[in-house]
Structure 1
């Protein structure tokens, strides 16, 4: 089961240092989401992370930096997806996005290397972002897509995922989870990440 970490949208003290420590601890995919930051600010943030970790970083904005710095990929925002344009990627770089309905996954999943489905549980980082799905419905849909469509969709759970809810995410048929609040709202983000890691094995 894959565990992806998303950066907080705002700046966190020593965030880059914490990100490096998490990557040292085995974080395989780190999504850098800073919607209000300029290109220069995002570039400076990326430059503060050692280059050998760049293939594990995914950008949510300023996509040209992904090719310039050899990052792991880009994540299309809903606004960018609706524009109908795709960023230019190098071989091996991933393209991902976030969906909020199962119908979107059925229709568009083949266009992406992996997708987030949210919100699965009540969000930990947004007070007005309640769960929007029944887990049984998700399990049935993902199972149908795997067995009937001949394609296993790479769908990760997003929204309210914490250590206590990871087993339910696994049972629902997700290939992994994307987390934000469970790590960044903890007084010890590294310890929180380690706990999540220990659950997924």
Structure 2
């Protein structure tokens, strides 16, 4: 599993590039625009071919966007799932009962391992030094003993993907490793190849 998180700021060619990434095999896109309004989220989605909506997980405006678009589901960043407190399971169920997927983020493997609520998958970061954030140092998490589907984030590109697989990650998530590359499409394809080779070797 390879997932891609959107850049926080949208440039003029992002939508075109995103369509090329979908065509290249991207099936897990995390739509994260923390500073964008609901209408700006709608405008972004309106530019995407609805064929690809089932590949999109939104980080913001989950109720509105799942009601209005046939997207895959929602992602709860750590702050957001913590805010739910004891109501988290009920909140998650309000989406899964309607057929939407719900994923979640963590920064400590212990918190992920202890999470009693069931999610489609979990993101854990930072595994390696982040490409898009120069001050974020990697922690080299080893998750082989956690029996959950975990995707590693932070410093992920074609070169670091095999090491992430060795550490027990069943998926990898990229941001800077693709969007900051000279050729984002080629960078994604190289990640695909590296992940498939490393994962097949592991099993």
Q: Say yes or no: TM over 0.5.
A: yes
Q: Which residue of 1 aligns with 2:57?
A: 58
Q: What stretches of structure 2 of length at least 5 have no aligned partner?
A: 197-203
Deviations 1:26-51 (A, max 9, x none): 10110000000000001110111111
Q: TM-score, normalised by structure 1?
A: 0.88
Matched residues in 1 for 2:11 and 2:165: separation? 30
Q: Which residue of 1 aligns with 2:131?
A: 124
CA contact (8 A) 1:5 1:31 kept: yes
Q: What stretches of structure 1 of length at least 5 have no aligned partner?
A: 146-151
Q: Which residue of 2 aligns with 1:78?
A: 78
CA contact (8 A) 1:58 1:66 kept: no
Q: Does 1:192 align with 2:187?
A: yes
Q: Which residue of 1 aligns with 2:48?
A: 49
| Residue 110 (structure 1) shift | 4.2
Q: Which residue of 1 aligns with 2:162?
A: 167
Q: Which residue of 1 aligns with 2:200?
A: none
What is the SS of the residue equivalent to 2:45? Answer: helix
Matched residues in 1 for 2:99 and 2:2: separation? 19
Aligned length: 188
Q: TM-score, normalised by structure 2?
A: 0.87
What is the SS of the residue equivalent to 1:156? Answer: strand
CA contact (8 A) 1:109 1:153 kept: no
| Residue 59 (structure 1) shift | 0.2
Q: Which residue of 1 aligns with 2:21?
A: 22
User: 5 Å matches for 1:137-148?
Assistant: 138-139=142-143, 142-143=144-145, 145=146
Q: 1:94 aligns with which of 101, 116, 139?
A: 101
Matched residues in 2 for 1:175 and 1:12: separation? 31
| Residue 92 (structure 1) shift | 3.1
Matched residues in 1 for 2:187 and 2:6: separation? 14
Moved segments of 4+, more than 6 Å: none
CA contact (8 A) 1:109 1:115 kept: no
| Residue 3 (structure 1) shift | 0.4
